[in-house]
Structure 1
C-alpha cells in the first residue's frame, strides 16, 4: 500500500503501475552493488518510498554460503484446521 499498489478501503484508488519487481530469489548469487528489487511507483501516490526500500532490504538475508533447500509447502489448510508439514 505504501507504493500505491494496494488499498486501505474499498474506495481507495489503486496505482496499477506500482509494485515491487524482485531481482533476486533465495539462493541467487549477489554481487556488491547489485539491485535486489526494483520499486515502481508514482511520486504522487507513494507515501514513503524510503520506508518501503528499507523494508524490502530487511527482507533479504545475505550470507557467504549457499542456503539450504527451503520447503515449497509449509502447511495444509483445510476445513478441519492447519496441518504443518515441517
Structure 2
C-alpha cells in the first residue's frame, strides 16, 4: 500500500443487525467504488488511486450488530458518504445460517 497515494478520508461500515451475511450485491459495491473514484463513468475520467473499498466479511460469515463489515476510502468526503450508503445497502443480513456457495465448482482437465 505504501506505493499508492494515501486517501484523505476513510469511513468504516458496520452491520446494522446481527446474523449471517446472506448476500452482498456486487452491483451496489461497484456503484460505491465508482462513487468514491475507484472506477470511471466514462473512459476519459481519471481513477483516484487512493480510493477503494475493503470488504471485511463474506457471504456466510456471522456478524454481531455493530461489527465491521467494510471500509470505504477516498479523497472527497461527500463521495465517501454516498459510497457508504451503497455498501450498507449491498449487505443482506439474515438470522438463519447461510451455507456459502463453493468458490471453485469443478476442475477441468
Structure with greater Cα Rg: 1
RMSD: 2.1
Gaps of 5+ in 2: 1-33, 105-109
| Structure 1 unaligned blocks of 5 or more | 74-86
Larger RCO: 1 or 2 (CA < 8 Å, sep 6+): 2
- In the superposition, the TM-score normalised over structure 2's length comes to 0.56
Aligned to 1:59: 90
**Equivalence for 1:11:** 44
Deviation at 1:36, TM superposition (A): 1.0
Higher strand proportion (structure 1 or 2): 2
**2:68 matched to which residue of 1?**
35
CA contact (8 A) 1:18 1:41 kept: yes
Deviation at 1:49, TM superposition (A): 2.4
Which structure shows the bigger proportion of residues in helix conformation? 2
> With structure 1 as the length reference, what TM-score do the two structures score?
0.68
Paired residues, number? 72
Does the 8 A contact of 1:17 with 1:41 survive in 2?
A: yes
Say if 1:4 and 1:47, in contact at 8 Å, map to a contact too: no
Shift >6 Å, 4+ stretches: none
2:59–2:100: 8 Å Cα contact kept in structure 1? Answer: no
